[in-house]
């Protein structure tokens, strides 16, 4: 593994089109700072990519992310441009053994970023978007370019891919496209995109994991071509979005007296009598309150229709001793 401390990156601007700019001006310190968000510290950053495959991106575009780190299977400079351009570089790097196991074939042109982190809270979150030039022609064709965010550490003795949709589906060409899980997909080609070359990419997704506070965890972000070395794919990691939410440790459903039953877009919550005069708050994955509902006796009906799909936390306000509970709207 090549340490970033030995990699001297220039400040050359790799590519720019309209409002999207991509550069390779990434020192060790700036790379860690670009990733590190609220309540988490990052150390021991390592990278194994071709020099042109990784870059810092910023600016408005069709992406839902305006700044971050870009890892590609070819050239980062090729990503800034109209959708009519063609991103297909050849980095010449080998594939990645973990990704080989994930897709069951030998991969090519891998770009891999690894680092350690220490969270202060019990939940780790990371925003990302996956895009590719393989869309839409090569969906379900065997050219299933793949990426993963592997987590290992306490509670994760084997590397676990946390780059998934809310239902656990790993993000890849064949799993997220115009035909399947299309609510998470942006068809850039159909939209005649002017600032991102890739023909398609996902919405801004959030990887999350329940962890032990103040323990050390290892992350490996890897992307690679599948079946050939052409038609680039890339993962956009949102700047400062790697964060730890300060929640009560172990707020899984079986540790909370709150019981939930889902009926379509309604969530029925049953609570103990101590919470009968308060409110139920729904928090999003970043810990922000997005909805409040007055508790009605011991059974409270919550309308989820206005919420987008994703991970949420239900918390009883004004009732001590009642642990929150996680749920997913899908």
Lowest mean pLDDT among 23-27, 34-38, 214-218, 265-269: 23-27
**Which of 232, 233, 234, 244 is closest to 207 using CA atoms?**
244
**What is the per-residue pLDDT across 60-105, written as a single tens digit (0 to 9) for each?**
899 989 999 999 999 898 999 899 898 887 777 888 899 988 888 8
Q: Degrees (nearest 5) of the Cα angle 47, 225, 151?
A: 50
**What is the per-residue pLDDT across 121-144, written as a single tens digit (0 to 9) for each?**
888 888 999 999 989 887 888 767
Buried b (16+ CB within 10 A) or exposed e, 141-174: eebbbbbbbbbebeebeebebbbbbbeeebbbbb
Question: Which residues are CB-contacts of 182 (< 8 A; sequence separation ≥ 6)?
Answer: 176
Total-model pTM:
0.72
CA distance 83 to 86: 7
Question: Which residues are CB-contacts of 251 (< 8 A; sequence separation ≥ 6)?
Answer: 122, 313, 323, 324, 325, 326
- What DSSP state is assigned to residue 141? T
CA 53 to chain centre: 19
Partners of 237 in beta bridges: 69, 128
Q: Degrees (nearest 5) of the Cα angle 205, 234, 67?
A: 60
User: What are the structure tokens assigned to 69, written together?
Assistant: 């780190």
Comparison of pLDDT for 164 and 184, the residue scoring more: 184
| Structural domains in the chain, sorted by start | 4-245 (no CATH), 253-329 (2.60.40.3080)
DSSP state letters, 275-297: GTTSEEEEEETTS-EEEEEE--T
Predicted pLDDT at 4? 35
Q: From start to end of 227-309, where are the E strands? A: 233-238, 243-245, 259-263, 266-270, 279-284, 289-294, 299-303
Predicted pLDDT at 149? 94
């Amino acid at each position: 593994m090549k340490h970033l401390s030995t990699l001297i990156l220039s400040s050359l601007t790799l590519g720019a089109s309209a409002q999207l700019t991509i550069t390779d001006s990434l020192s060790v310190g700036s790379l860690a700072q670009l990733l590190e968000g609220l309540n988490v510290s990052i150390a021991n950053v390592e990278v194994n990519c071709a020099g042109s495959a990784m870059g810092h991106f910023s600016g408005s575009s069709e992406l839902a992310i305006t700044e971050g780190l870009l890892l590609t299977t070819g050239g980062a400079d090729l990503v800034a441009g109209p959708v009519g351009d063609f991103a297909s570089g050849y980095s010449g790097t080998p594939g990645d053994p973990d990704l080989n196991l994930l897709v069951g074939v030998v991969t090519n042109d891998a770009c891999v970023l690894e680092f350690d982190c220490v969270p202060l809270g019990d939940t780790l979150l990371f925003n990302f978007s996956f895009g590719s030039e393989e869309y839409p022609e090569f969906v379900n064709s065997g050219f299933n370019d793949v990426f993963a965010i592997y987590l290992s550490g306490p509670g994760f003795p084997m590397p676990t891919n946390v780059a998934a949709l809310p239902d656990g589906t790993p993000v890849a060409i064949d799993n997220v496209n115009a035909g399947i899980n299309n609510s998470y997909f942006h068809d850039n080609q159909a939209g005649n995109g002017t600032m991102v070359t890739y023909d398609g990419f996902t919405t801004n997704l959030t990887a999350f994991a329940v962890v032990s506070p103040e323990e050390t965890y290892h992350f490996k972000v890897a992307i690679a071509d599948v079946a050939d070395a052409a038609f680039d794919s890339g993962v956009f990691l949102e700047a400062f979005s790697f964060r730890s939410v300060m929640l009560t440790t172990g707020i899984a459903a079986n540790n909370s007296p709150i019981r939930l039953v889902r009926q379509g877009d309604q969530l029925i919550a049953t609570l103990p009598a101590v919470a009968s005069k308060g409110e139920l708050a729904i928090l999003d994955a970043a810990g922000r309150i997005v909805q409040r509902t007055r508790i009605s006796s011991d059974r409270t009906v919550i309308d989820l229709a206005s919420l987008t799909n994703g991970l949420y936390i239900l918390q009883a306000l004004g009732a001590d001793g009642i642990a929150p509970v996680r749920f997913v709207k899908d």
